[in-house]
Structure 1
Amino acid sequence: MTDKEKLPYRPCAGMMMFNDEGRIFMAQRIDQTAEAWQMPQGGIDKGEDPGEAALRELKEEIGTDKVELLAQTDDWLTYDLPEHLVGKVWKGRYRGQKMKWFVYRFLGRDEDINLETDHQEFSEWKWIDLSDLPDMIVPFKRDLYQALIKRFGGIIAENAGRNP
């Protein structure tokens, strides 16, 4: 068993993307047998700017980066993997993730979203109400998602329905 406390966090960018109605983009992971919905997220390469990583990951994961940045975290938010996943995911090198989060208004049309990318991670997607977000995420990320709602819910509500 890996001593979790000695492992670092994996640097990652998370993207909270909403549409004109203020609904949040969520996608079903392709590599899970159980339902595992999440917002887009991905690793930050060594030397890469977190904002650049976020846009790269959007393009890689959902086929589009037609977005407008409205907010981001200044600090890093973390989550720990549950014990049964430590040592198994990310080649056992990390205890969890430290994340910079970016809030984007989606500027495209639903047809611009394409999950069938070169490195497909999701099997399906949908827009959901912000209040439904915590119930859809795996339990070990739930506190993080609730913190995101507190931080960014007002920005999303304030900007929903506004044309950029």
Structure 2
Amino acid sequence: MMKPYRDCVVAVIRNGQGLVLAGERTDARGAWQLPQGGVDAGETPDQALFRELREEIGTDRLQVLRKLPELICYEFPAGMDSGPALKYRGQQQTWYLVELLPDGIPNLEISDGEFRDLKWMKPDAVLSGIVPWKQAAYRSGLQALGLLS
């Protein structure tokens, strides 16, 4: 039997200059990605979004501008045998476009440590910096949100 997809959320946090907030993974120096994470049992994607942002960037003070109606999926690479890949074949993601509220200030000091640094980047720079096996999903999500042509 084929493993299922893991339900996941992705936050595209946009600022007034059209840049998006990316985090450098603590476990992979130089690997930047958007805040994202799994939807826990009994949790809605909307609830998971706010929880993941509290955990990963230290604030959930934001407003949702747009939520994509369709899921965006990707498969884990063959041979990946750690973390979610033990139970799942890949992830099916709900993508959100969000903005920080005026008092929404990222604070890695109170985050769970997944990210070592945060940086505002152009959407195409985030796309080119993501691991190759997530690139098609990132392109689809960023295009659907109108951030890439």
TM-aligned CA deviation for residue 68 of structure 1: 1.4
2:116 aligned to 115, 123, 126, which one?
A: 123
2:49 equivalent in structure 1: 54
Residues in 2 aligned to 1:117 and 1:95: alpha-carbon distance in whole angstroms: 31
TM-aligned CA deviation for residue 104 of structure 1: 0.1
Provide the identity percentage: 34
Task: Give 1 or 2 for the bigger CA radius of gyration.
Answer: 1
Residues in 2 aligned to 1:31 and 1:126: alpha-carbon distance in whole angstroms: 17
TM-aligned CA deviation for residue 136 of structure 1: 1.1
1:70 equivalent in structure 2: 65
Residue 13 of structure 1 contacts residue 100 of structure 1 at CA under 8 Å; is this kept in 2?
Answer: yes
TM-aligned CA deviation for residue 99 of structure 1: 0.8
How many residue pairs align between the two structures? 148
Following superposition of structure 1 onto structure 2, how do residues 68-147 of structure 1 map, counting pairs within 5 Å?
Answer: 68-85=63-80, 87-90=81-84, 92-108=86-102, 112-117=105-110, 119-147=112-140
Aligned-partner residue type, residue 15 of structure 2:
N
Q: What does the per-residue CA deviation read over 1:125-156, in whole Å, with 9 as the maximum and x for residues that have no partner? A: 100112222111111110111112211125x9
If each structure's helix is expressed as a fraction of its own residues, which one has the higher value?
1
Secondary structure (helix, strand or coil) at the match of 2:110 reads: coil
Aligned-partner residue type, residue 57 of structure 1:
E
Residues in 2 aligned to 1:23 and 1:9: alpha-carbon distance in whole angstroms: 30
> Which sections of structure 2, spanning at least 5 residues, go unmatched?
none
Aligned-partner residue type, residue 138 of structure 1:
V
1:162 equivalent in structure 2: none
Q: What does the per-residue CA deviation read over 1:96-127, in whole Å, with 9 as the maximum and x for residues that have no partner? A: 111111110122468x2112335210001100
> Which sections of structure 1, spanning at least 5 residues, go unmatched?
157-164
Q: What does the per-residue CA deviation read over 1:15-56, in whole Å, with 9 as the maximum and x for residues that have no partner? A: 011111110000011112x52210000110112110111011
2:24 aligned to 11, 23, 28, which one?
A: 28
Residues in 1 aligned to 2:85 and 2:14: alpha-carbon distance in whole angstroms: 32
Residues in 1 aligned to 2:101 and 2:18: alpha-carbon distance in whole angstroms: 12
TM-score by length of 1: 0.83
Secondary structure (helix, strand or coil) at the match of 1:103 reads: strand
